[in-house]
Amino acid sequence: MRKILSMAAITFLQGFRTQTFRIVGMLFVAIMAMTYALRVLSIGHKAMMLRSFGLSVMEISSLLLIIFGCVASFYRERETRLQAIHLTYVSSFDHVLGRLLGNCLLIGAYTILATLACAIVLWHENAWSWVFVVGAYSIFLKLCIICVFCSLFSNLLSSSIFASLMTVFVYFAAEYASYPLAMMRRTPSVVPDSVSKAVYHLLPNFDKIDLKYSAIHGEGVAAFLILEITLYTLLYIALVFIPAWRAFARHEH
């Protein structure tokens, strides 16, 4: 456990202090400032608009952090012989798990900071609701799943550009996988229903994890649902982690 924590702490501190983290943070602040300035346009829906933009910007900027921060740091570590040093201290399992944990912690820290920034704006505009925290938590869970995919693609592919593109692809595929399924219920499709369903279940079901809608509308969320999506996320991460670890272990450093 100490070895995993060691790798996680190194990954977290490295990621937290990079320029990428600061740039993504500044981008978040800039968009939030613009949202704040434009709040007057959404007459009667100001609170919902602010909450919606806050969560959406948080999610997109976190995704940028994964693509430009986590993927890039993986390849940088490979080029600078850091992996070679780390692997003389820890096993490949500890290394991959530690890095994944470190990246999830990084996304967690970013989500907390972004939630605090949003809270100040929302409080000021009387738009704050505690369900906003639940919405932010659901975004964190989604991005942890994206982190494990980022780990998988970084270990599988020799090009960081492909790894980034594949990570983005999985994010959008998972985000919108439920729409074709819903459309097929109404209109017949050439793709068999079973295939569509299989693809949907193979991809992370972001439509079920995502609690942004409740957070935006200020609707309460049952504690059981939060527990359920947390367990689903942990299980999904464990399933994707295994091939990511095997790919890393097979790779020669």
- Nearer CB in complex with another protein: 100/209: 100
Residue 73, exposed/middle/buried by CB under 10 A (0-12, 13-18, 19+)? Answer: buried
Confirm or reject binding of residue 226 to another protein (CB under 8 A).
no
Alpha-carbon span 13 to 93, nearest angstrom:
20
Q: Which two tokens stand for residue 8?
A: 């996680």
Choices 74-82, 127-135, 136-144, 148-156 (CB under 8 A): range interacting with another protein: 74-82
Confirm or reject binding of residue 195 to another protein (CB under 8 A).
no
- Least distance from another protein to the Cβ atom of residue 249, Å: 11
- Nearer CB in complex with another protein: 98/135: 98
Confirm or reject binding of residue 17 to another protein (CB under 8 A).
yes
> DSSP readout, 148-184?
HHHHHHHHH-S-HHHHHHHHHHHHHHHHHTHHHHHHH
Confirm or reject binding of residue 7 to another protein (CB under 8 A).
yes
- Nearer CB in complex with another protein: 85/120: 85
Listed in sequence order, the DSSP H helices in 80-130 are 82-87, 92-124
Binding-site member from 2, 41, 188, 222 for another protein (CB under 8 A): 2
Site string for another protein, 80-99 (x = CB under 8 A): xxx-xxxxxxxx--x-----
- Least distance from another protein to the Cβ atom of residue 107, Å: 17
Confirm or reject binding of residue 3 to another protein (CB under 8 A).
yes
Alpha carbon of 161 to those of 14, 57, 63, 243: distances in Å? 21, 23, 15, 20
- Sign of the Cα torsion 122, 23, 113, 168 reads positive
Binding site for another protein (CB under 8 A): 2-3, 5-7, 9-10, 13-14, 16-18, 80-82, 84-91, 94, 252-253
